[in-house]
Amino acid sequence: MANLYLTHKCNRGCPFCFARKVLRESGGRVDELLTVDEVRRLLDRFQRELPAVGLLGGEPFLYPHLDELLALLKERKVGAKIFTSATNPLPAVLERMTPEQAKADRINFVVNLGTRDTYTDEKFANLDRFFRRFAPVSCLSYTIFDLNASASHLFDLIDEYGLQRAIRTGIALPILHGGNSYIALDDYKRASDYLVRVASEAASRQIVMSMDCGFIACMFTDEQLGHLQRCGGELNFSCGAAVDIGPGLQAWNCFPLFQVGRVDAMKASSLRELMDMLSAAVKAELGDACGVKPECHTCDLMRRHLCEGGCASFKSCQENISYPSQINS
């Protein structure tokens, strides 16, 4: 799978993101877009390896060519998973679409959700309208970054709108030079308690919390791991996201490594080769230390490929800022 990074534009301002700040400080142009023609060239090269793509940004609903892009993906029989905050008015192409058509075209949505106080009434009305239309083809995503926050509002919304009963759960990770909020490694134990507590509440409401990349096995006790499995979520201690491909067909490993080891996607003859090129580029810039902890290189779980040693973006932090003990902002 690959993600198409369509636009930097976003008006949501999640504290764990700050994409535009990163972009500005790296000298990039906030208004640049991945063009439909670039996507066409990409599919000409990699389509056999791309039964589906993720559409992200920025905010895909602010991408001005969404109509044309979805038509191209449909014509090429490529499914689309759209990552959105769903707080903007529906783009015209979605205004015309029913959930049944979305299903037939293999389009679904992952909606990044915050607490009610993070939405204006207008933004929440847009979200409400989106859910009323697309709930059957939508699931929520949630990023752990406030270890005191309740997650009950997610479960309430799933019940209220009939959303899919699975939540894609991430942990806020540092973005290179990003100045974003993230969970410091010193707080991973508290984060594990938090996830176990939230996953238990979710399970009691027949909702599964799945783990995105960046979690590490040793943040949990064996008992917690057993409990999480009983709650139904798959354990995941990998560092291996889908490749992101953005404007100019530049590719990068994943969002936190947005500025590290960019590669021209068209220099690869296959997606596999592109991923290898990106891994090599990241290693060249961040070194090949094998994990976020000194003990990773002798860890049996690492040796048996059960934990990949956490998020590589911590390597850039360790070099650049003093080690945080609290959530950073």
Residues that bind ligand SF4 (CB under 6 A): 173, 213-214, 216-218, 239-241, 253-254, 256-257, 291-293, 295-296, 299, 301-302, 307, 309-313
Q: Please calculate the CA angle 99-43-98 and round it to the nearest 5 degrees.
A: 10
Q: Which is nearer to ligand SF4, 135 or 312 (CB)?
A: 312
**How far is it, in rounded angstroms, from Cα 214 to Cα 238?**
7
Smallest gap from residue 278 Cβ to ligand SF4 (A)? 10
Smallest gap from residue 242 Cβ to ligand SF4 (A)? 9
The two beta strands, 138-144 and 166-171, are: parallel
Sheet architecture: strand order including 243-246: 208-211, 166-171, 138-144, 107-112, 79-84, 52-57, 2-7, 243-246, 250-252, 263-264
Q: Which is nearer to ligand SF4, 214 or 246 (CB)?
A: 214
**How far is it, in rounded angstroms, from Cα 112 to Cα 95?**
20
**Residue 279 region by backbone torsions, left for phi larger than 0, else alpha for psi between -120 and 50, else beta:** alpha
Q: Which is nearer to ligand SF4, 1 or 301 (CB)?
A: 301
Smallest gap from residue 323 Cβ to ligand SF4 (A)? 16
Sequence-ordered list of residues with C-beta below 8 angstroms from that of 328, at least 6 positions apart, any chain: 174, 180, 181, 182, 184
Smallest gap from residue 17 Cβ to ligand SF4 (A)? 12
Token pair listed for 111: 């909606």
**How far is it, in rounded angstroms, from Cα 182 to Cα 189?**
14
Q: Which is nearer to ligand SF4, 39 or 254 (CB)?
A: 254
Longest dimension (CA), the chain: 55
Q: Which is nearer to ligand SF4, 22 or 296 (CB)?
A: 296
Smallest gap from residue 253 Cβ to ligand SF4 (A)? 6
Q: Which is nearer to ligand SF4, 254 or 274 (CB)?
A: 254
Smallest gap from residue 263 Cβ to ligand SF4 (A)? 15
Token pair listed for 144: 């752990």
